[in-house]
Amino acid sequence: MTADGRLERSWLPDGVRVLTLERTHRRNALTPFLLDALAEALAPDPTVRALVLEARGPAFCAGYDLAQLGEDAAAARSPDARIQEVLAMLESHPAPSVAVVHGAAFGAGCELACACDFRVGTPDTVLCMPPVRLGVVYAPDGVWRVARLAGVQRARWMFLTASEVGASEALAWGLLDVVTDDAAARAHAVATTLATGAPLAVSGLRRTLRAIGQAPIDPAEREALESLRAEAFASEDAHEARTAMREKRPPRWKGR
């Protein structure tokens, strides 16, 4: 395994494809390499009847690895476009998906789980959306993925307070569908059940449910939000957040 991690691919019976994140030394934090590997694995394949997304080590996914951005805020490039592209591929994949969420699922890791059709957690699962600690404005599509499951008010709580949400609370909020000690086995069983459904019916119903749950953003508002996000990502505060994380101290915000 390289420093960028790897994505293990395996099969279960009945056309269930298992994708396993393995970058345990960084709690499976995402890198450009892992995002590319996910995109490749999510290419349409008629032999795949259901997907399981899981991870090795003590955490599901700690989000995007901020170390990938470097120390130069002006030169840093936001990974958001690629993250959103890969998550859209997961959501629109012909096969339904189940995430095995254990330990931490923060930021893009939480969103990765939310992009799956179902989430099976463990008692130690913790979800968190920390952009206010990082000085950035999160992608609207990412906010929507959390809000469509938990509701707008609970999403507001998660994003504006950066509070950690434990397994029992996540289950009550709809962010997890099941909590069990043997999450992998339960997720595999759910995926096997999903794989037995008629493919066209499953695909059509998933598309219908996505359409019902979407709340389109006005184009002018989306443009304004993208401008705000670009400004925040390149701000002194965003650079200060990354510096403070490296130096293990509280950030000193300047509001610019």
DSSP code string of 195-223: HTS-HHHHHHHHHHHHHHH--PPPHHHHH
Q: For the ranges 136-150, 191-205, 213-227, which has the lowest average pLDDT?
A: 213-227
On whether residue 227 sits in a domain, the answer given is no
On whether residue 168 sits in a domain, the answer given is yes
What pLDDT was estimated at residue 30?
97
Reported as a single tens digit per residue, the pLDDT across 194-218 is: 999 999 899 889 988 888 877 667 7
Q: 3-class DSSP state for residue 39?
A: helix
pLDDT over 80 at 137, yes or no: yes
Are 98 and 53 in contact by the 8 Å Cβ rule? The answer is: yes
On whether residue 67 sits in a domain, the answer given is yes
Measured over the CA atoms of residue 157, residue 162, residue 168 and residue 174, the dihedral's sign is: positive
On whether residue 41 sits in a domain, the answer given is yes
pLDDT over 70 at 73, yes or no: no
On whether residue 208 sits in a domain, the answer given is no
On whether residue 142 sits in a domain, the answer given is yes
Based on the structure, what is the number of domains in the chain?
A: 1
How high does pLDDT run on average in the chain?
92
For residue 54, report the phi and psi dihedrals to the nearest 5 degrees. -140, 180
Q: Where are the alpha helices (DSSP H) in 21-166?
A: 32-41, 80-92, 108-114, 131-134, 140-150, 152-161
CA quadruple 26, 28, 31, 33: dihedral, nearest 10: 120
On whether residue 241 sits in a domain, the answer given is no
pLDDT over 70 at 61, yes or no: yes
On whether residue 121 sits in a domain, the answer given is yes
Range of the domain at 34: 6-184+195-199
What pLDDT was estimated at residue 1?
67
The CATH number assigned to the domain holding 47 equals 3.90.226.10
Residues 6+ apart with CB under 8 A from 211: none
